[in-house]
Amino acid sequence: MTDKFDSELIDELDARVLGDGEPLVLSDEVRALLRRSAEQVALSPGDADEALRSVPTATALLQEISRRFKDGSKRLFEAKIKASGLRDAGDLDGACREMEGVLAVEVVPLYRQRAADSLHALMRLKSVAASGQIDPTLRDRSQLPILLHRVQQGHPLELNKGMRAFLRRSAADVGMSEAETEEALASPESAGAFLGQIMGRIRDASDRLESAMDRMTELRDAGDLEGARQQIRDWLAVEVVPRFRLAAEEQLASLDELPPAP
């Protein structure tokens, strides 16, 4: 049994048949995959069964299934990236529109559900923006910029038990010490400034990750594995955010597993 998703199996089959020109062999396994996948991309069982009556129509079915998976995945990914940027900039209405745009055209149920879930989370963030209160059902990371925008607009943090716990978690997540955290929690003003420092660390770490990974990929693809490793070592030398350090360490380990260039 494979542990791959059907969309991955379709992608591999598409590459062999439509990319490399291999003939489509309608084995029982391939027929079952195409039937399952057709349903997953909102094609009717009747249409799938009809298409499986011949190799040419089955090939066309494969092409349509693959297109729906790829288009839907790309559409959702790009919308989420845009929505995240808008959310972090304080434009929750714009972020919601990105997800609504996906829902307006998407037919694949899985991608529709993910877009709907993202839209639901954004709507809950609007409540956070209005109230200044932490929503325990949402990720801490998504609430940080919302609360920071409130502070920047002149609304001080309410240092209740939930907010203090939130700030302690967020500070630990970016590698800030307990001592500096407790000092920052002395007043709403210092806590608001501290919130800005937390977001600053996240943004700086994200920029370092993107820069290091881009340069590492260039060097690795050019066959310069030692140069690629050095990029990650340089990143590790300055990174303070624990989860980004872990990402760098994992990337360095994966480079160490690659065979040397011939």
Chain segment 15-66, per-residue pLDDT in tens? 999 999 999 999 999 999 999 999 999 999 999 999 999 999 999 999 999 9
- Whether the per-residue pLDDT at 261 is higher than 80: the answer is no
**Residue 89 DSSP label:** T
Write down the pLDDT at residue 231: 93
The 10s digit of each residue's pLDDT in 195-237 is 999 999 999 999 999 999 999 999 999 999 999 999 999 999 9
Q: Where are the beta strands (DSSP E) in the chain?
A: none
What average pLDDT does range 72-92 have in this prediction? 96
Alpha-carbon torsion angle 53, 59, 61, 64, nearest 10? -170
Instruction: Please give the average per-residue pLDDT across 178-197, as a whole number.
Output: 97
Look at residues 48, 129, 58, 47 and name the one whose alpha carbon lies nearest to residue 88: 129
For residues 223 and 156, the answer to whether their CB atoms sit within 8 Å is no
Run of H or E residues at 169: helix 161-173
The string over 101-111, giving b where at least 16 C-beta atoms fall within 10 Å of a residue's C-beta and e elsewhere, is ebeeebebebb
pLDDT tens by residue, 115-165: 999 999 999 999 999 999 999 999 999 999 999 999 999 999 999 999 999
Query: In residues, how long is the chain?
Result: 262
- Does pLDDT of 1 surpass 60? no
- For residue 168, pLDDT beyond 90: yes
Rounded distance, CA 150 to CA 156, Å? 7
Q: How confident is the model at residue 257 (pLDDT cuts 50, 70, 90)?
A: confident
Indicate the average pLDDT of the chain.
Answer: 94
Provide the pLDDT for residue 259: 79
CA–CA separation, 257 and 221 (whole Å): 15
